[in-house]
Structures are given as structure tokens and as C-alpha cells.
């Protein structure tokens, strides 16, 4: 795919993330885009909490994440990023992953996360701009057993059996597993099915909890319901007790244009949802 036939408006996307570098399919451009994207476009699940459908067609994703200056979750982020990379001439593959971050049981989780592989200059890179609180800020090489440096935390891929990979992040000098995946290609219909599941299944975490994240310089902002955690140079934690505090945080510190500004929902509907959060 090239820019002339792509449904992605590259000019608008590059303006959104603040990129003005070369538009070539190089590792330098991939590194730059991978760092800028999670700093400009937050991870957030406001739509499922508001009972609104999450649309995964290219036009809807671009309208929301770029034009409306909203955020989204993994499918929206990585489908947008894939469209940009394809338009620039990169060779991409879409995969599905099983999230194990924070799990204490041994039960196999569903394949509900999306990631990308990028084949470039004889190497394959794992690329993922949509994993929320510990989103990669650089692509990493698809090689196991070694620590790989990024602009933020170190990451590592390990083998699980013959066919599966485990992505881990180093937090507080300890390796924490994030998700496992294999190399079976996933198609857009697979993500449509998974998206329907996570955005409508009654027990889905996205229907009962607000999850918001953004990279800000050397720090990471992570909001779970009313608790804000800041990791990095300006670390700290605070509890948000009022709807106005939550609105201020989402708009000013996270950088989300709230949906009631565009007339998608009323202010009272948004405030009622925020007030219900535990």
C-alpha cells in the first residue's frame, strides 16, 4: 500500500503526533513514530463505559483518534499505526496476544490484544503502541533471551515452548510478564470479534473500569478509575475525589478532548459515568 491509496490522512496524523521527519520506510522513521504516537494519543476506554460502540474501520479510527483528538484502546491504536506504516511502505503483520499482566490464576486468557510485526532490513520487529500503562515506546527486535533498551523501560522476549513468545518489562529491577503470543496471522475480522467481546461482554474490565494512560516525556501517566499513578521522573500517586477533578485530569494532563465537547454525549451523561466509578 502507498500513501496515494491509503485511507489514512498522513498529514493529519503527523500533525497530531508532531512528526516532521522523513517519510521513508526506515528504522529511524519507525523509531520516531513509535516514540511520538503514545505521547500524543492516549490509551482510553471512555466509549465502552458510555455504552457506545467502538468502530474499527479506518475512517472511524482516524476521525476519533486524529480528528477528534480522542484516545482509544489497542485495536484502535494499532490499526491506525498499521495503516500509517503500510502507507509509508513498511511490511506489517497483525497478531493477537493473550494478556497475562496482573493475572494470578493459571487459566489461559482469551486472545484479546493486538500487536504488529514489522519486517524491515532483514529483521523482524515487534511494534505495539496500544498496551496502555506500559506501552512500548520503541519497536524491539523479535529475538528472545536478551534485554532490549527503549526510551523508557527495558523489555525482553522469552520463548514459551516451541511456538509462543512472552513479552516482559523490567519494573523495579524485576521482570514482569505482559502478554504471550504466537506468529499465527490475525485478520481484521479476528479483531472485530475480539473488539465486540471486550466492549460488550458483561465481565469485561473495559465496561466497569476507566483505564487511561499516556507517555509524557520520561514519565508515564496511568489512571485506573480514580487513582492516578505517575511513574518516572515526576513519580507520585493521587486519588481523584470529584467529577471536576477527573475532567480536569483527562483534558489537561492526559490531553483527551472529552466526547461531550463534540456533541457525541451530553455533559450530564459523561458526568454520571465518571461519578459511578469506584
Residue 164 known to be catalytic: no
Q: Quick one: which H or E segment has residue 38? A: helix 27-40
Residue 113 known to be catalytic: yes
One of 34, 37, 47, 74 is an active-site residue; which one?
74
Contact 75, 130 (CB under 8 A): yes
Closest CA to 221 of 24, 71, 54: 71
Residue 128 known to be catalytic: yes
Closest CA to 77 of 40, 29, 24: 40
Number of other CB atoms surrounding residue 225 within 10 Å: 17
β-pairing, 174-181 vs 111-120, is unpaired
Question: C-alpha angle 216/221/223, rounded to 5°?
Answer: 155
One of 34, 37, 77, 113 is an active-site residue; which one?
113
Cα–Cα distance, 171 to 89 (Å, whole number): 34
One of 9, 47, 86, 128 is an active-site residue; which one?
128
Question: How remote is the C-alpha of 193 from its chain's centroid?
Answer: 18
Classified as helix, coil or strand, 185 is coil
Q: Which residue reads 515506546 in cell numbers?
A: 137
Instruction: Return the active site residues.
Output: 74, 113, 128
Amino acid at each position: 500500500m502507498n500513501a496515494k491509496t491509503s485511507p489514512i490522512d498522513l498529514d493529519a496524523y503527523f500533525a497530531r503526533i508532531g512528526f516532521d521527519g522523513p517519510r521513508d520506510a526506515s528504522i529511524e522513521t519507525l523509531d520516531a513514530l513509535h516514540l511520538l504516537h503514545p505521547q500524543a494519543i492516549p490509551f482510553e476506554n471512555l466509549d465502552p463505559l458510555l455504552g457506545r460502540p467502538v468502530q474499527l474501520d479506518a475512517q472511524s479510527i482516524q476521525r476519533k483518534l486524529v480528528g477528534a483528538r480522542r484516545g482509544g484502546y489497542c485495536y484502535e491504536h494499532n490499526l491506525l499505526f498499521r495503516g500509517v506504516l503500510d502507507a509509508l511502505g513498511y511490511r506489517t503483520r497483525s497478531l493477537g496476544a493473550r494478556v497475562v499482566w496482573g493475572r494470578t490464576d493459571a487459566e489461559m486468557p482469551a486472545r484479546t490484544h493486538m500487536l504488529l510485526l514489522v519486517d524491515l532490513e532483514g529483521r523482524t520487529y515487534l511494534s505495539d503502541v496500544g498496551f496502555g500503562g506500559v506501552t512500548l515506546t520503541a519497536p524491539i527486535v523479535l529475538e528472545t533471551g536478551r534485554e532490549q533498551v527503549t526510551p523508557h523501560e527495558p523489555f525482553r522476549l522469552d520463548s514459551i515452548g516451541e511456538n509462543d513468545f512472552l513479552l516482559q518489562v523490567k519494573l523495579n529491577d524485576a521482570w514482569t510478564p505482559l502478554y504471550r503470543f504466537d506468529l499465527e496471522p490475525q485478520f481484521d475480522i479476528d479483531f472485530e470479534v475480539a473488539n465486540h467481546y471486550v466492549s460488550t461482554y458483561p465481565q469485561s474490565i473495559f465496561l466497569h473500569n476507566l483505564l487511561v494512560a499516556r507517555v509524557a516525556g520520561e514519565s508515564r501517566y496511568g489512571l485506573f478509575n480514580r487513582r492516578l499513578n505517575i511513574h518516572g521522573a515526576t513519580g507520585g500517586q493521587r486519588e481523584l475525589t470529584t467529577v471536576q477533578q477527573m475532567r480536569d485530569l483527562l483534558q489537561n494532563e492526559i490531553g483527551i478532548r472529552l466526547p461531550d465537547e463534540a456533541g457525541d454525549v451530553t455533559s450530564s451523561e459523561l458526568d454520571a459515568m465518571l461519578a459511578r466509578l469506584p
